[in-house]
Structure 1
Amino acid sequence: MSKKPLVSIIIPVFNVEKYVSQCVKSIQNQTYINLEIILINDGSTDCSEDICKEYAQDDKRIVLLNQKNGGQSKARNKGLDFCHGEYILFVDADDYISKFLVEDTISFAIRENLDIVEYGHKNVNTNTKAEFVGGRSSNYEKLTHDEALIRVLDYKALMVPWNRLYKRYLFDDLRFPIGVIHEDEAILPYLIDKSKTYGLINNDYYAYVFRKGSTMNRDFDSKKLVIFKIMSDRRYYFNKKYNFKYDSIMLYHQYYRISKTLSMIQNKKLINNYKTEKKKLFKKIISSKKLDYRHKLKAMAYYYFPKVTFRA
């Protein structure tokens, strides 16, 4: 590779003293070395900050930024405001990555002039270790803008920031919303829509560590209901921009979320409200000429047999 652009890796850190060393070491061990490693200490009350300070002192590529506890979105935004890389990666401080992640994704991005490169991940727990396949993957795909957008709107790809490499310009006018759950879903479709070129490597490079108490693994609470506003806003934006081209698939997933939420909540007023909304959406789905029969059959199962469909 004749040109080696700087890649900024943004890592929010909050009370992960048991895991942050493994994360940072996996990034230091990358075969691609032109890195800017940004650790954002989000007001940790354990020894996370001290651990990060030691790494920053020993490795000039590492920068430690501190802020009062404001949440993961605020920490990521601070990293975005500070970073200097042409490309950006996000890693959560309790996860870790394959040593080939940056080299493989940046090589593909440069070779094909890609704005985003998506890659696979492994789910592990705190007692297991992910084994990554050595060497470079040969399983590369280029997607059209339409294919990439459908992939995320149809939830065929995870709505998370940490399984993609991004061109920095995509974040020029976009930031993670602060103070809400599902913040990833409030930004990712718009990043993909803004991108001009999108690639996919069908290989696992990221270890997502399932840890009780982490953001993605919390039990249901009422704050998660903000997802319905996020999904409604998304439908409005894309319907206005693309003349309802993607409405059926967005409608289906909004219906699915409401159906699943009804199986989890106890509040009678909320149940009645969402039952009414569920019925409206179900009628639209069944009458849709753009939605395939598989989605309609699933919608019928959610409607008529919710206890069976969503049982634990």
Structure 2
Amino acid sequence: MNGNKTVTVVIASYKYGHLAAHCIESILSQTVLPDKILFVDDGVGDCKHLPKIYPQVEYILRRKNLGTASNFQDMLNRVQTDYCLFIGADNWLRSDAIELLKKVDADVVTYDIIVTGEIKDELLDGWSEKMQSFYGDFYWDREGGHHGSIFYNVKLAKKVGYRELKEGRRYSTEDLRLWNGLLESGAKVGYIKEGLLYYRRHKENFNKYGKYFSPNNNSKGIKRIIKKIYYKLRYNYEI
């Protein structure tokens, strides 16, 4: 029964056009392919080259930026399959992710994350107790917690929707609003204790969340260097 679930993967891009091919390739090379792949560029215009390379993907290339919550809600409204998974175009999935997720008897499935990329150490600030060194990257235990690429029942999700939970938070919170709403609706939660998502932390994250992360002065820059040395000593990873 579980293997008969229909699945849509929504790839969301905002200034990630130079990284998107890697993400698309990871979806197209799944051991079990999703039934549909939707790709959305939220008004940046750096993904126009992709339709010719990957014509099997359906594209929504917006002329104007909707903002994360409105963009995601519009994409959710377009999904017609039983289940859905959103993924940032700068990230990628392990090749057996869809196969494993479809096997879980649950309304929403969360799973662990591999944190990689040039500024991966930034995520240690606030999450260090949940992360451990993993072949030069970090393994992020997400048991009991949400993230932006949870696998969920579309019918239930549409009743909740993607909406901004609160302005001014460190991270965008539309995925937290969806997660909380699914739990409140009584959704059955499943969990896979494996790192199925590769979460790439890179310079464009500064462009998107610059007011939170970018060191605006020498003091903040020095603090970041001290933090890197501390995490190097504690978690034994390369700076």
State TM-score, norm by structure 1.
0.54
Deviations 1:222-253 (A, max 9, x none): xxxxxxxxxxxxxxxxxxxxxxxxxxxxxxxx
Q: Secondary structure at the match of 1:186?
A: helix
Give the distance between the partners of 1:65 and 1:172, measured in 2 at CA.
20
1:72 is the counterpart of 2:50? no
Alignment counterpart, residue 86 of structure 1, candidates 82, 86, 92: 82
Alignment counterpart, residue 175 of structure 1, candidates 156, 161, 174: 161
Q: How many residues align?
A: 190
Give the distance between the partners of 2:119 and 2:21, measured in 1 at CA.
16
1:213 is the counterpart of 2:211? no
Give the distance between the partners of 1:22 and 1:175, measured in 2 at CA.
28
C-alpha change, 1:124 and 1:176, in structure 2 (3 Å) is same
Give 2:147's aligned residue. 160
Alignment counterpart, residue 193 of structure 2, candidates 196, 199, 202: 202
1:49 is the counterpart of 2:35? no
For 1:96, the aligned partner's letter is W
C-alpha change, 1:182 and 1:30, in structure 2 (3 Å) is same
Give 2:111's aligned residue. 119
C-alpha change, 1:157 and 1:19, in structure 2 (3 Å) is farther
Q: Name which one, 1 or 2, has greater alpha-carbon Rg.
A: 1
Q: Secondary structure at the match of 1:122?
A: strand
Compare relative contact order (CA 8 Å, sep 6+) and give the higher one, 1 or 2: 2
For 1:54, the aligned partner's letter is K
Deviations 1:242-291 (A, max 9, x none): xxxxxxxxxxxxxxxxxxxxxx9xxxxxxxxxxxxxxxxxxxxxxxxxxx
1:96 is the counterpart of 2:55? no
Greater mean alpha carbon deviation, residues 178-187 or residues 3-12: 178-187
CA shift for structure 1 position 214: 1.8
Give 2:11's aligned residue. 11
Give the distance between the partners of 2:201 and 2:177, measured in 1 at CA.
23
Summarize the alignment of residues 1-312 of structure 1 with structure 2, pairs less than 5 Å apart: 3-46=3-46, 48-51=47-50, 53-57=51-55, 59=56, 62-67=57-62, 68-109=64-105, 114-126=106-118, 157-162=144-149, 164-177=150-163, 180=167, 181-214=172-205, 218-220=210-212
CA shift for structure 1 position 26: 0.2
CA shift for structure 1 position 39: 0.5
Tell me the C-alpha RMSD between the 2 structures. 3.1
Give ranges in structure 1 of 5+ residues lacking alignment: 132-154, 222-263, 265-311
Contact conserved, 1:12 with 1:72, CA < 8 A, in 2? no
CA shift for structure 1 position 97: 0.6
Q: Secondary structure at the match of 1:85?
A: coil
Give ranges in structure 2 of 5+ residues lacking alignment: 121-133, 136-141, 214-219, 221-230, 232-239
Contact conserved, 2:3 with 2:102, CA < 8 A, in 1? no
Contact conserved, 1:121 with 1:207, CA < 8 A, in 2? yes
Runs of 4+ deviating beyond 6 Å: none
For 2:48, the aligned partner's letter is E
Percent identity between the two aligned chains: 18
The structure in which a higher percent of residues are strand is: 2
Give the distance between the partners of 1:3 and 1:209, measured in 2 at CA.
29
Contact conserved, 2:2 with 2:102, CA < 8 A, in 1? no
CA shift for structure 1 position 56: 4.4
